[in-house]
Structure 1
Amino acid sequence: MGATILGMADMRVAQDDCSVCSTDCTAITLDREAIHDLRNLFGIVASARHMLDDDPNAERRAMLLAAIESAALRGGDLTTKLLTRAPSTDANRIDDINQHVISLQPMIQALAGRQANIVFDLATIPIPVRLKHGDLDAALLELVANARKAMGNSGRIMIGTRRAGACLWLSVADDGRGMDEVSLVRLTHSNERPAAHGSGFARVRRFAESAQGRLRIRSGENKGTIVCLILPVAQHIAVV
């Protein structure tokens, strides 16, 4: 009997250890995601600063300054959360995805840099989605960063939205070097954790899963890449 009770106690301790480990692993993953997001925000600030040296016109200068301000504010919030371990206050909201993408245009333009021609091919009708803006923004900026890295001295990045039934298709396409079949399989089936280095694809994949969506990617060597986030459409747009 004593041995049985002891065995049960050991089992409970093991279960408790697993629970603690699971919590710690989740916290580590979130920290790594935040660090990876910070890298992209620093990239926006640095790129916008260099683009200001090109003596842009007033409109472009205002756009670049807006990108620096937005990235700095978001970076400050992320740093505070990392230091204090504060839970995220980013709640799900219903908004038109098209208007939200437009609001990110300054940061997207800055992150893409001088060499990229950014094209927005957005749906002509509102598409309401219920999402945490912080997570969506981080995923979209990660896809833009990856598209930029795939290009040479110049290229085009196209960001598009379409509605197909009850789903939103949010796509980021580039005409960069693309991937061969082996690289594509490695990317889509990798267990890579989000980190300060790496492709960041795991970050995007985790967002798609948390948003009850799917992720699709098509690429060919020297034929560019297109990544689609397929997300559920909400019933209506929130009125603020």
Structure 2
Amino acid sequence: MKRLWLRISVSFSLLTLSLLIILWFIIASVSKTTYTDTIREHLVENAVLFSEMISTSNLLTQPDELDALLTRAEEDINMRITVISPEGSVIADSENNPGSMTDHIDRPEINEALEGADVAESIRNSETGGINMMYIAVPVYDADDNITGIVRTSYSLELISDTTQYLWQGLAAVLGIVLIISIIVAVFLARSITKPISEVVKATGELREKNYSHRIHGEYKGEMDTLAQSVNALAASLQTQLKIIRENEQQLNSILDNLVSGVMLVNAQGTVEMINPSMERFLSRHRDNILNKHFNEYGENIGLSALIHTVFEENEKVNAEITSYYPNEQKFDAHISPYYKDSWQQGGVIIVLHDITEIRHLEQIRSDFVANVSHELKTPVTSVKGFAETLLSDDVTDKDTERQFLQIILDESERLDRLIQDLLHLSKIEKNTLPLNIEQIEIRQFIKEIVQTLSTSVKKKNIQLTLPSTEKETFLEGDKDRLNQIIINLVSNAVNYSYDYGFVEIKVKAKNNNIYISVSDNGVGIPEESLSRIFERFYRVDKARSRHSGGTGLGLAIVKHLVESHHGRIKVESIENKGTTMTVILPRQMHP
């Protein structure tokens, strides 16, 4: 940009020079052609004139007078004149002695004139003078139109060349002056154009360096003034926008710094771009050890990496509970969602962690309380069950009545016993006191074997049960007993809440590093407002039906905890009176 005026000047000057050279060649060529044509016409005119004079005055018979006439004429018209007989001998010549001149019968212009051409022309080297000449020959006729002689006029081509050379030199001088003037004008115009452009470049350079207070000063005309005003307006707009962005950034930073929840932003390459102080505290690392590093470097310890990978792979929100054991045991409710850039391209993942350690502690206390109460209730329930069995003996008099009530006592005692067992089992799961016995399981055959235990319930309601195909093997790592409980609970619920002659379908699908086990039915379904609560303990959508089916209200809560103990998750999709689909998502391999 610093030499733009010079480049413009040189370009303009070279263009002008090229045009002037072309113009010079054109004018020179036209001038030479015009001058040559003029000489030719002059030669023809004089040749014809002398031919008529000789023919009229009968000068061919008077050689001396003819020779004197030619000599005088040459002084006036500055050209050589020669008169030649039909036989080719020179009768008279304005420059040389005819007697000393050779026969001209072999000259091309003489032969052409003798053959009857009105005007014959030839350009060649003169044998007499030794220079290039232009010859014009015109025949002389007598009264009977017989050729009695030839008048030849000639002119030196060197004189034509000298004349055109002087003309070219003069033309070159004029065009050189024009070129010099053009260069001066080009430099002036280039400087006048590039000066405001330099100001604009300087201003945009300041804007690039984020100096939005810089302005273009000076008065310009035309489009350059409009450009300068536009750049100034752009700088003012950028300055205003920068102020707004900085204010918004300060507000956002203040909000993030004061959030009790941890927030972290991971880009599409898996690199951490932003983190707030709460997240630093949760991860027990300084931001310098987290920012611009891959999330795998710190997320494996608390199970965060697997969730982030899931969001990247499935492009869906994930909500899960994770645990950190360093420096103290902490539990977090992790909400991980994808975020998008322009054109809906995935830009990365947003991670929000809520510290639920205290909440889980309170739940643990409540779980312990339920366990203690259950232990306290177990003995009287066992007693009631024993007395009921005794009263069912044959010693009772009013057998029908007593049997009816005693049967109720027995059923309720068994139900209370199941409730206590479920409470105890759930308490153990929540405390993580049940160790996982991990082994490799072929899940399709495993499901087929488990569902056989429910054949009675299925046949009783005439349910059409569809199992996954066992032709293809699908393996995962897990605890057989817990997986058994998960599948039994889900299939039992599907059967219990299906209409007679309904259908229940179990599917198994492998995707990426996860196994998807879904149980679908076309039963009563779940109302939309209850979907978020069905995994709560003792929550029943239809209390009467739950009691009638013998349920304790803890089945799905147990399933959820068992799935989570396998580092998996469970999803539910349901439409009331149309059916429900429960999907368990488990990793193929259990990571320690």
User: Would you say 1:105 and 2:451 are equivalent positions?
Assistant: yes
2:507 alignment partner, one of 160, 172, 195: 160
* Pairwise CA distance, 1:27: 9.3
Which has the bigger relative contact order, CA under 8 A and spacing at least 6? Answer: 1
Matched-pair contact (CA < 8 Å) for 2:569–2:585: yes
Aligned position for 1:179? 526
User: Would you say 1:25 and 2:368 are equivalent positions?
Assistant: yes
Matched-pair contact (CA < 8 Å) for 1:142–1:204: yes
Aligned position for 1:59? none
User: Would you say 1:217 and 2:550 are equivalent positions?
Assistant: no
* Pairwise CA distance, 1:185: 2.4
- DSSP 3-state at the match of 1:104: helix
CA distance in 2, matches of 1:103, 1:176: 24
Matched-pair contact (CA < 8 Å) for 2:572–2:582: yes
User: Would you say 1:206 and 2:561 are equivalent positions?
Assistant: yes
Aligned position for 2:582? 227
* Pairwise CA distance, 1:234: 3.0
Listed one character per residue, the Cα deviations across residues 151-193 of structure 1 (whole Å, up to 9, x for unaligned) are 12221111111101100001111010111211222314x3549
- Relative distance call for 1:120 and 1:24 in structure 2 (3 A) is closer
Listed one character per residue, the Cα deviations across residues 116-137 of structure 1 (whole Å, up to 9, x for unaligned) are 1111133643221111111111
CA distance in 2, matches of 1:183, 1:119: 27
- Relative distance call for 1:207 and 1:111 in structure 2 (3 A) is farther
Listed one character per residue, the Cα deviations across residues 3-41 of structure 1 (whole Å, up to 9, x for unaligned) are xxxxxxxxxxxxxxx8xx769729939x89xx9xxxxxx
2:483 alignment partner, one of 136, 141, 163: 136
* Pairwise CA distance, 1:196: 6.1
Name the aligned partner's letter for residue 465 of structure 2. Answer: I
Name the aligned partner's letter for residue 517 of structure 2. Answer: L
- DSSP 3-state at the match of 2:467: strand
Matched-pair contact (CA < 8 Å) for 2:440–2:475: yes
The worse-fitting range, judged by mean Cα deviation, of 226-235 and 163-172 is 226-235
- DSSP 3-state at the match of 1:153: coil
Query: RMSD across aligned C-alpha pairs, in angstroms?
Result: 3.7
User: Would you say 1:94 and 2:449 are equivalent positions?
Assistant: no
The number of residues matched between the two structures is 167
- DSSP 3-state at the match of 1:198: coil
- Relative distance call for 1:196 and 1:114 in structure 2 (3 A) is closer
CA distance in 2, matches of 1:220, 1:23: 33
CA distance in 1, matches of 2:487, 2:580: 15
CA distance in 1, matches of 2:370, 2:554: 20
* Pairwise CA distance, 1:220: 0.3
- Relative distance call for 1:219 and 1:24 in structure 2 (3 A) is closer
Q: Please list every run of 5 or more consecutive structure 2 residues that lacks an aligned counterpart in the other structure.
A: 1-360, 379-417, 540-549
Name the aligned partner's letter for residue 132 of structure 1. Answer: D
Name the aligned partner's letter for residue 28 of structure 1. Answer: A
Matched-pair contact (CA < 8 Å) for 2:502–2:521: yes
CA distance in 1, matches of 2:439, 2:494: 27
Aligned position for 1:41? none
- DSSP 3-state at the match of 2:589: coil
Listed one character per residue, the Cα deviations across residues 27-84 of structure 1 (whole Å, up to 9, x for unaligned) are 939x89xx9xxxxxxxxxxxxxxxxxxxxxxxxxxxxxxxxxxxxxxx9xx9xx99xx
- Relative distance call for 1:90 and 1:187 in structure 2 (3 A) is closer
- Relative distance call for 1:151 and 1:210 in structure 2 (3 A) is same
- Relative distance call for 1:153 and 1:112 in structure 2 (3 A) is same
Greater gyration radius: 2
Q: Please list every run of 5 or more consecutive structure 1 residues that lacks an aligned counterpart in the other structure.
A: 1-17, 36-74, 236-240
CA distance in 1, matches of 2:554, 2:520: 16
Task: Provide the identity percentage.
Answer: 21
- Relative distance call for 1:232 and 1:107 in structure 2 (3 A) is same
- Relative distance call for 1:152 and 1:213 in structure 2 (3 A) is same
- Relative distance call for 1:124 and 1:162 in structure 2 (3 A) is farther
CA distance in 2, matches of 1:224, 1:24: 32
- Relative distance call for 1:199 and 1:155 in structure 2 (3 A) is farther
CA distance in 1, matches of 2:578, 2:481: 31
Matched-pair contact (CA < 8 Å) for 1:123–1:160: no
CA distance in 1, matches of 2:438, 2:371: 23
* Pairwise CA distance, 1:138: 0.9
Matched-pair contact (CA < 8 Å) for 2:451–2:488: no
Matched-pair contact (CA < 8 Å) for 1:146–1:199: no
CA distance in 1, matches of 2:458, 2:534: 22
CA distance in 2, matches of 1:119, 1:106: 12
CA distance in 2, matches of 1:123, 1:162: 12
* Pairwise CA distance, 1:90: 6.6
Matched-pair contact (CA < 8 Å) for 1:129–1:232: yes
Matched-pair contact (CA < 8 Å) for 2:443–2:476: yes
Matched-pair contact (CA < 8 Å) for 2:438–2:479: yes
- Relative distance call for 1:23 and 1:226 in structure 2 (3 A) is closer
CA distance in 2, matches of 1:132, 1:158: 23
- DSSP 3-state at the match of 2:445: helix
Name the aligned partner's letter for residue 101 of structure 1. Answer: I
Aligned position for 2:186? none
